[in-house]
Chain A
């Protein structure tokens, strides 16, 4: 399995500001994933972050709004830029890890609960 930590765990931010979320993994991984979960909704993939290359964004998400860094194989950051109340969500980081199933499974960090006022 993989142990993932995220900082901050929660934050309340003013509209128009930016917040950078950190994700740290206890082992080296090739790909890291960033998801958004809007209130009462399911999870939606924002982007895939590979070390040494630009992140790959899903439809509806752009680099100017959600810049991502991946400086090494255990760490990534997601920035939510120029925030509006619609950005209020839980942001989750995930990675693949070798699980008890004997296969590679995705594991999720505890999430960052963001409220924009």
Chain B
């Protein structure tokens, strides 16, 4: 099956710093989503981005489908950005089932 690898596994930042999270996937996908899991366990949709670039406030994402990777950019980080960021893909030929990477645990210190 498809492999989804995220890096780095852990990231510690000072408030105000910028960061880039990466997601590599091993096969073509219909769908790619980025989620933020807050400390209470809730998964929050950040981006639906099978290709191209999107921006939402301090967050932006880029997916290069031909090269099978996606990047999530966080600018001017805040303590509320802490949590785990997951990349999840729906492989082509699949049935809307998402395959998750192992996540990047982000800690933003004040």
* Interface residues of A, Cβ cutoff 8 Å to B: 1, 31, 33, 37, 41-45, 48, 90, 92, 94, 96, 99, 101, 103-108, 110-111, 113
Flag if B42 contacts A110 (CB, 8 Å).
yes
* Interface residues of B, Cβ cutoff 8 Å to A: 31, 33, 35, 40-43, 45, 47-49, 54, 86, 88, 95-103
Where chain A touches its partner, the secondary structure class is strand
Bound CA–CA A14/B75 (angstroms): 45
Flag if B103 contacts A42 (CB, 8 Å).
yes
B40 — nearest CB in chain A belongs to which residue?
A: A110
Q: Name the B residues within 8 Å of A96 (CB-CB).
A: 96
A103-B48, A105-B45, A110-B41 given as contacts; is B100 within 8 A of A48 (CB)?
no
Query: What are the 9 A-B residue pairs with the smallest beta carbon separation, nearest first?
Result: A101-B48, A108-B43, A105-B48, A43-B100, A42-B100, A111-B41, A42-B102, A110-B42, A90-B41
B42 — nearest CB in chain A belongs to which residue?
A: A110
Q: Name the A residues within 8 Å of B40 (CB-CB).
A: 110
23 residue pairs A–B, Cβ–Cβ below 8 Å? A1-B45, A31-B95, A31-B96, A42-B86, A42-B103, A43-B98, A44-B100, A45-B98, A94-B98, A96-B96, A99-B45, A101-B47, A101-B49, A105-B31, A105-B45, A106-B33, A106-B88, A106-B96, A106-B98, A107-B45, A108-B43, A111-B41, A111-B42
Q: Name the B residues within 8 Å of A37 (CB-CB).
A: 41
Question: B95: which of A42, A44, A48, A113 is its contact (CB, 8 Å)?
Answer: A48
